[in-house]
Each structure stands twice: as structure tokens, then as C-alpha cells.
Structure 1
């Protein structure tokens, strides 16, 4: 049907075990295809999830606002509102609005793939091999310029390489509990799950078949981020949601100040000036240079699983934790699990400060007129100027600008106005 976003779409059939009295999903029996879809949620960058949920609510014409993922929605909107001139290059803004992940190509093979992020393409200068002044580099963006001044618009056709499993290799049945624990299907696991959830009368449980399409997958993703019973809320429309909350052991302002003064560290540190209301020590906004803003914006490219890992025990949402543990135990190999929790090369800046692994840069070999050239990655922030470096990533936003960051992580290069008689200035170091 014209105008329908997903016409004649594929579907995956699930078998749900439902408590009829409580109108609650106890568990689901699914195949490999659906488990791969579930695990793909964890490698989606936060910025992509924000964009998906906003688009989903718009397409559904839902009167309710899209689920907010902490302050990440504000970070994403800040990027949308910033002009291209606020960034080192147009590509720098693009990789935040449409962040990539390391398994984009593999996830295109998912039976239900909600990720519309384009597969990475590779470009070189069309004059490579004809001009000595050309940079021996490749780029993922044809909007970037070679050192010779020409756009990197000659596409390099990439080989598909070895076709590997997306996440799980066993073509078996799996059981998923309502709190997102995934395991191989067995009678013993099913009975154990039923007992743990307090169901003693099996006669009150009923089987229900559900055909899941793109719309249902997006609804499940939203429920995963906002509910402690995602299967029930997504497939029975119960919506008994909980809110993502911080736990009381989050670092205080005093701890941040003390941590910056007690000892010197050799690790990378960033300085931020906080403006705090004297009355209750509430942070009104922060003032910083480009490095701290780069650090905040890079979170839009960090996969959900890594954000969860960085947060430690500071966020209460059991379902994501259960799904992360299940993915780790059921992945076809530990190498597959580890590679899916890395940042792509284009996001290497500030990754060490976050303790995140990055993919290693591997030269790309091309042959032109019988001459072999080993090309290195041209980072998206290369603007062709003498101060810009082709093969190293130095950030996203323009240098020399002071940025204002509100307490809800709205970023602006404009000055915020407060009554300065009621606030105090506090220096903090982040490392």
C-alpha cells in the first residue's frame, strides 16, 4: 500500500506463554532470527536509538512523547540545532546524527532490520595515481577533500569478506523471560522460569502466537528502555512502565571537586567550570572548551551496551543488564561479542577517556595503473587546512569556542544569563 513505511514486510512468529488472569507474558519461545534482532539493540548507538524512537512516534501519530533516554535526547537535539559551521566539517555533524557501528553490514542481514544507517562506503581521490600531490588516504565521505583540493569522490568497491554469524550461530529454539533473560530452549529452563516468576498453576497459562514486524520491534526497543516487563508491554499493550533512574551512589559535586585536587594523574583529564546555585548547590550550567563538548557528543555514537557498561551500577533497569549478559554468553564467539562493543575508527577521539576500545586502523590497498597504494583512513574532521591532520582524529566541533552546557545536557555556543549574585564558580577535573 502506498504511503506505508513497511509494506509487505517480513515477520517473525513468536510463541508467548501468557498468564491470562494477570494479562502478563511469562516467557517467549523464539528462533535464532529473533534473538539476533534482540541482541542488535545492544550495539545500536545511542543517537540512532533516539532518532528511531522519535521517528517511530511520528509515524504512529502517537500523542505521547517518545521515550526519553536520560539526557541523550537533549544531546541529539543540540546537534540537530547546531549549524554545519559549528563543526570542523559537515561530516562531523553527519556521524553524530547518523552514527555508525561496527556491525552495520552484518545487521543488514537481520530478518527484521530497523537500522536504516547506510553501509559504509569508501572513497579516494580520483587523481590518485596521476598526481604526486594526492594524499594516500581513503575516506567514508565524498564531501571531504584530498590535499590536492579535489573531493574524495572515487568510490572503492569493497569485498564482502567472510560471511560470519551476526550474533548466535546455533539454529535452535530459545526462551526469553519477560525481564529479558535469554537461554537455549528446554523443558527444565521453561519450568524454572515459570517457578521463579511465582506461577504455580499451569492451567492459568495460555499459549499465544504473535507475528512481529518492524513496528513491533521498535515498540519492543522502546519498552526495553522504559519498562521492567518489555514483552508484556510491547505485545499485550499493558504499558506498566518504569522510569530509568539513577541510584543514590552517583558521585556528588563535592566528590568531583575533591577528586580533582587529591592527586595528580598521568591519565588524560579535562577541566570544566561549573556554575552552581549557592542556595542548594544545584549545577545550573557548565562552561567548557571543545574537548569536553567532543566528549559529550561522542556518547551519541557509543552503543547501548557500552553505555550500560560505563554507567556501572548507577542506573536501575534490570532488563538491559540481563540482555547484555545473555548476549555475552550466547554469542557465537567471544571475538564476535568483543568486536560488537568497539567504536568505529571515525570516533577515536576521547575514546581512551571513556575506557572504550577502538577498531585498529588497517591500510586499504588499491592498485592503479599496476601501482599499489596503501591508503590510510582520512578522519571526518579533516578540512584540508594546514593545521588539520589527515590520519589523526582531533575532535568534532570548532576550536576556540566556549560552550555552555545546561544541567540537562543541552549544548549551546550562546551565553546563558543568570543572576550572578546567587551562583558560584567551581572548577572540576574529569579523568
Structure 2
């Protein structure tokens, strides 16, 4: 077969070789075969916090990821005085990855322009991501920089030399399964004479493009490798489909005791849409926390929810992948059950995501408990994190990233501002909703509603409508 080796990155140290089977007739990638370096990069997508992904989209590939771009830009525009500490804003716009220690060893680092740094105070009381703060325990500075171990042996998530196959829609297949003739039929290959093997070099920019196109396309490999690139756009794939999202949502049942966030929705009676909401800082803190969540956590919560992208296929493939291809169960958990980076927890537990922990062993930082010797307790080597949110806030009862009390205007597509009548009027005018068609609804949020809102903000641009549409459509019960 003919081979084609286009140069996609000038720095050959930062490229990964891919062998692709291409259907010449349809000009589509059937599948790609590569070694562990490529799959480590691909799997690392699941560990990335949404704030970093949206920032990468802002800087290089303009992909609309539901409402999250609007949310991100709103936080960028907030006055720093709205936050509990100066660091809170950075925590949302550039959140840390809980798998950062592993991702330091990726061959292609698509998000390495501002790497996370780790510091300890001189007495070893706390760890901090920031050097210019004072330890709350011993009052010393965080002047001891902890080096990150980048001498890891073997692969990052997968074993050193697996040969795996991935289809155009990001289904990972083992070589054994790939030998089946049924696979080719399933992938739409009817005539081997129309297929051709091509070799590509994937660099950092191509890997970034692959991530972004995977949000909006079922054929990202074709678009990136063969340059069949449509304009990336997620769009509102769930407009007025809140019932569909709700019926397929993967989450816990409603617990009345959890309904501790309330907000006022301003609704168009005829259109059955939320024009905007007026909410306190607890609701906006919940929205802010969406940017700290790893992609894999969101994908785990949206099983069977239809959308334009194919990253859910990647998540399911990793979940089902034979353990012999992964380095350990710990590494699999980093991908399919990712946690928050230490110190990034939002105190209201509606989303139910946990933080990982740091351990300091043999002058190295790790999050893997399996590295701790049997004769050593985890607590004795655990490093407590000086929570960035409280750097300048002595109020121990405070929660979240924002100062309170405060009231905000939140649009259906998650543009957020401190209470703004100008924004509210502009939304009403843009929607062409007469004042006589408006009514207010007070709604309450528990864990399930929070998860619905998370998914709705990820897959479409009508997050409030798609979260609360069922309640708005149900007729009110007679008293």
C-alpha cells in the first residue's frame, strides 16, 4: 500500500506516528493504529478540567462547548473584588488537573503553557500552588518548591507498548477484536480495494484540534488527518428537550433535604423558556464549580444523552478496556472516575465529586496510595493543601469562590453578571417577549437538579430551560 507522510509538526521530537486505514471512496478514516504514546494523550483528555479546555478553545480552536464559554467569559469579566481571594479567579480560569503528576510525562502536552507548580512551607505544614502566601500554621513562606518527577518508566496510563486501534468516532478496540471481519463491515468497509494505508505525524496542534473536534463531531480523526474540517459548532442540540435529558440522566434520585439552593426564574409563558434567572452567590458558585470538573466526570454523568460529539465513546471504551492494557486500576480510576485536584472542592456537595490527596514519599509527590509502603500510614505522608479560596478570607463559614451576600442575573445560556437590569431588559427584547407574557417561578435545586444543569450546560445553549423545562410545563396542582 502507498504511504503518505505529511509533516504536521516541524519539531519531530513532539510528534507521534499514526497509521490510518482510509477509505478512498468516501475519503474517511476507518481506524487508526498507534502505540501507547497516542493513547496516553487521547486518554488524558478525560482528566482535563473544563476551565482549561474552554481556555484552550478560546486561545486556539473556537469551539462552542455548550454554555461553558459564556460562563468562562463571565468569570473573566468579574471584578476581582467579587471573589473571596485573588486566587479564586485563577482556580476557575486555569484549574489544576488532579492527574497533573501523570500528565507531565505525556509526549504531547497540549496544555503546558502554564504548568502547575507545587510549594511547601519551610516547616512542611502545608502544600500550596502559590508561593506568595503565608502558611496559616507556622507563618513561614511557601519557599520550598517541590520538583515534579518526570522520569516515569513506561507509559502514562497504558502499558508501554500496546498496539490498540481507534475508530473515527473514538471507539478503542483491542487488536484481537480488530482481526474480526465483522469489524470492517460494522465500520462500513465493503470492498478492501478502496482502502489505503497512510501514515501521519500528529503534533501538539493536531492533538489539540482532535480534542476540540471531538466535542462537535462523530468523525474527528477524518477531519483532522484528512483536513476535512467543518466549522466547529456545538449549537443548541437540546433546545426545549429538558424532558429528554431528564429521562436519560445518570444520577441519584431527588432528596428533599438536599434542596438548599433557590433561584427565581423569569419565564415566557407562551414560549415555555427561561429568559433569565435572579440568583444568590450560592447558585453562581455552583456554576463556577463546573469549570473545575474533569471532562471524564461529566461524561460519566451523561450516559445515553445524545449530542454531537463522540467523547462519550472514548469514555465508554476506556471503561470497558481490558485491564491488561492499562498500567493499574489506579490509572483507570484517574480516567473513568476522575477527582478534583486537592484544594478545589466546592463546599456545597451537590455534585458529589471528591478531591484526590497528595502524598510525599522519598522526596516525591504522588496521588497513588499504592506507592505507600505497608508499614507506613497514609495520614503520616499526606500533604494538606492550603486552600486557595481562603487565602484572604478569614470567614470560616464562607463557601465557594465568591463573596456574599450578592445577587446575580444569569441568562439561559449562562451569561452571568452581578444583578443587571440592563442585561435583563436586553434579553427580553432579544427574545421578543412582551411583558404581559412573563411570569416568575421560584425553583429549588438538589443533587439531581445540579447534575441536570451540569449536563444541560455541557451539551446545549439553553441550560436553564433544559434543566427546569419539565417543572415549567407541568400544570400547577389545584390547592
Deviation at 1:278, TM superposition (A): 3.0
State the shift of 1:373 in Å: 11
Kindly indicate whether the alpha-carbon contact (under 8 Å) linking 1:223 and 1:230 is maintained by their aligned counterparts in 2.
Answer: yes
Q: Counterparts of 2:359 and 2:14 in 1: how far apart (Å)?
A: 36
In the alignment, the residues of structure 1 paired with residue 53 and residue 275 of structure 2 have an alpha-carbon distance, to the nearest angstrom, of: 27
Task: Say if 2:388 is the partner of 1:380.
Answer: yes
Conserved 8 A contact 2:268-2:439: yes
Deviations 1:218-262 (A, max 9, x none): 11112111111111111111135784623875249999xxxxxx9
**TM-superposition CA deviations, 1:362-401 (whole Å, max 9, x none):** 69999xxxxx998632211114454247xxx821011111
Give the aligned partner of residue 340 of structure 2. 343
2:39, 2:141 → 1: CA distance?
39
TM-score scaled by length of structure 2: 0.74
Q: Please point out which of 285, 289, 306 is paired with 1:294.
A: 285
Give unpaired runs (5+ residues) of structure 1. 58-65, 130-135, 256-261, 367-371
Structure 2 counterparts to residues 154-233 of structure 1, below 5 A: 154-157=143-146, 160=149, 163=152, 165-186=155-176, 188-189=178-179, 191-233=181-223
Which residue of the partner structure matches residue 444 of structure 2?
429
Q: Give the root-mean-square deviation of aligned CA atoms.
A: 3.4
Question: 2:30 touches 2:168 (CA, 8 Å); kept in 1?
Answer: yes
Return the alpha-carbon distance in structure 1 between the equivalents of residues 33 and 168 of structure 2: 11
Distance in 2 (alpha carbons) for counterparts of 1:108 and 1:361: 16
Higher helix share: 2
Aligned to 2:36: 32
Q: Deviations over 1:128-150 (max 9, x none)?
A: 59xxxxxx543222344444896
Change (3 A) 1:168 1:192: farther
User: 2:37, 2:246 → 1: CA distance?
Assistant: 48
Aligned pairs for 1:290-369 (under 5 A) are 290-317=281-308, 319-330=310-321, 331-340=326-335, 341-350=338-347, 352-360=349-357
1:142-182 per-residue CA deviation (whole Å, 9 max, x = no partner) reads 34444489684322535749947521115121111111111
User: How far apart are the structure 1 equivalents of 2:109 and 2:140?
Assistant: 32
Deviates more, 1:327-336 or 1:395-404: 327-336
Q: 1:430 to 1:208 in 2, by over 3 A?
A: same
Q: How many residues align?
A: 397
Matches within 5 A, 1:14-413: 14-57=18-61, 66-116=62-112, 117-124=114-121, 136-147=125-136, 152-157=141-146, 160=149, 163=152, 165-186=155-176, 188-189=178-179, 191-239=181-229, 243=234, 245-246=237-238, 250-251=242-243, 265-267=256-258, 269-317=260-308, 319-330=310-321, 331-340=326-335, 341-350=338-347, 352-360=349-357, 376-388=384-396, 394-413=399-418
- Deviation digits for residues 15-51 of structure 1, max 9, x if unmatched? 1111111111111111111011111111111111111
Deviations along 1:303-348, one digit per CA (max 9) or x if unpaired, are 1121122233334246212100222233333322223411112221
SS at match of 1:321: helix
How much does 1:277 deviate?
A: 2.1
Give the direction of change, closer, same or farther, for the CA distance of 1:363–1:250 in structure 2 (3 Å limit).
Answer: farther
2-side partners of 1:29 and 1:195: how far apart? 18
Contact 2:359–2:382 at 8 Å: present in 1 too? Answer: no
